[in-house]
């Protein structure tokens, strides 16, 4: 009998997860199928029960439920606790565990897919302070950035994020909160966009990047459109700029690893990126 996995959210029609995971399941001859579930908040506990009863092999979680599973799983790992969100649920040693693979996928893409020297002690500038930011920042802190500057439309949300991570023990990274549209200065090594600005083709990113050195990387986690408004600003200054397709696929690979204990190869990643209509 085939095992079932699902992504759960509302709305869910837009999700690329079934396309990604079903490709890998077929490639590795795993008798499982990955589906989408559009759920109501009141139904979430029933899906955890299905994982416990082995009716579901595991779950991915997307908006708006990434916080709702904290009280439903048996154990929340460090990645989920630090990022305040669960996007992957799996069973291990009889326990249902919630984790967050967003930051893992982001860092993995930096290490394996981008011509950029990802190292300890970077100076980072981030547009946005929403849920994705928490996942990415929590993972980046393992590499001890010197500083992380946050520019957000709502300044109070950026302050809450900065305070959350500043309070973590063993954190020596300096956090700075800036008004929306602030332009990163020449000391910045990497600019990240985790905001929704650029999802609409008509969006104009309210910043300039002309102070950055040519060694800097501009990373927009939006992957549709392929060339975002921030990427257009970066390319005017001949900066290396990429979209979020590698992060999307790499974070999916981290989920796959937790369900099946398979380390997917770079070929597996690139095959799916081509399947999604992006150049590898």
Strand, helix or coil for residue 153: coil
66 noted as active-site residue: yes
Task: Write the pLDDT tens digit of every residue in 106-154.
Answer: 999 999 999 999 999 999 999 999 989 999 999 999 999 999 999 999 9
CA-to-CA separations, 204 to 181, 186, 208, 243, in angstroms, rounded: 11, 22, 11, 16
* pLDDT for res 201: 80
Task: Write the pLDDT tens digit of every residue in 181-224.
Answer: 899 999 999 999 999 999 888 889 999 999 999 999 999 999 99
- Catalytic residue among 52, 57, 66, 185, which? 66
Number of C-beta neighbours around residue 12 at 10 A: 18
Q: Is residue 280 predicted with pLDDT exceeding 70?
A: no
* pLDDT for res 216: 97
């Amino acid at each position: 009998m085939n095992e079932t996995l699902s992504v759960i959210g509302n709305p869910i029609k837009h999700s690329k997860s079934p396309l990604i995971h079903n490709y890998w399941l077929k490639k590795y001859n795993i008798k499982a199928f990955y589906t989408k579930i559009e759920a109501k908040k009141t139904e979430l506990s029933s899906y955890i029960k299905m994982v416990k009863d082995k009716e579901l092999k595991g779950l991915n979680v997307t908006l708006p439920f990434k916080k709702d599973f904290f009280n439903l799983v048996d154990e929340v790992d460090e990645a989920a606790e630090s990022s305040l969100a669960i996007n992957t649920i799996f069973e291990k040693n009889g326990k249902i565990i919630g984790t967050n693979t967003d930051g893992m996928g982001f860092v993995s893409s930096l290490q394996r897919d981008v011509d950029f020297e990802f190292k300890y002690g970077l100076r980072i500038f981030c547009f946005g302070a929403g849920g994705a930011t928490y996942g990415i920042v929590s993972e980046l802190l393992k590499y001890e950035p010197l500083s992380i500057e946050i520019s957000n439309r709502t300044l109070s949300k950026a302050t809450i994020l900065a305070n959350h991570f500043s309070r973590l023990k063993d954190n020596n990274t300096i956090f700075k909160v800036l008004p929306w549209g602030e332009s990163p200065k020449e000391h910045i090594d990497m600019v990240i966009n985790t905001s929704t600005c650029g999802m609409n083709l008509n969006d104009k990113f309210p910043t300039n990047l002309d102070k950055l050195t040519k060694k800097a990387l501009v990373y927009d986690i939006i992957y549709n459109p392929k060339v975002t408004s921030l990427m257009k600003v970066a390319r005017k200054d001949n900066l290396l700029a990429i979209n979020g397709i590698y992060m999307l696929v790499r974070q999916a690979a981290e989920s796959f690893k937790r369900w099946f204990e398979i380390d997917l190869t770079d070929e597996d990643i690139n095959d799916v990126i081509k399947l999604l209509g992006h150049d590898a």
